[in-house]
Amino acid sequence: MAVLSNGFDATISAAAGEDAALLAELRAVFIESLERQVDLLSRARCDGNWAVAAQRLKSLGASFNAPTLVALADLALDSAPGDPTVIRKLSQFAGEIPAS
């Protein structure tokens, strides 16, 4: 699976311009936000908390032009709270993102 699209790199490159430090920081913030929301999703046991975490993941994916993340968030929104398949797929996605 292609973890991130070329659109992701283009989006953060456009935001950072020629600033390599900012580019690295944007990538790090994306990964940190992704991991935090996947953790919240994995601990959600009610529909409300599950939906909030899934919506945040979808927004993160849309903001950074990461269509795979948007699709995984949609899968979470269509699933029951605590669905281990969804959590596993999101965790795998997060683990495959290169730090730089």
pLDDT value at residue 100: 65
Predicted model pTM: 0.88
pLDDT value at residue 1: 39
**By the 8 A CB rule, do 3 and 95 touch?**
no
**By the 8 A CB rule, do 37 and 56 touch?**
yes
pLDDT value at residue 9: 83
Q: Give the residue ranges of the chain where pLDDT is below 50.
A: 1-2
**By the 8 A CB rule, do 100 and 27 touch?**
yes
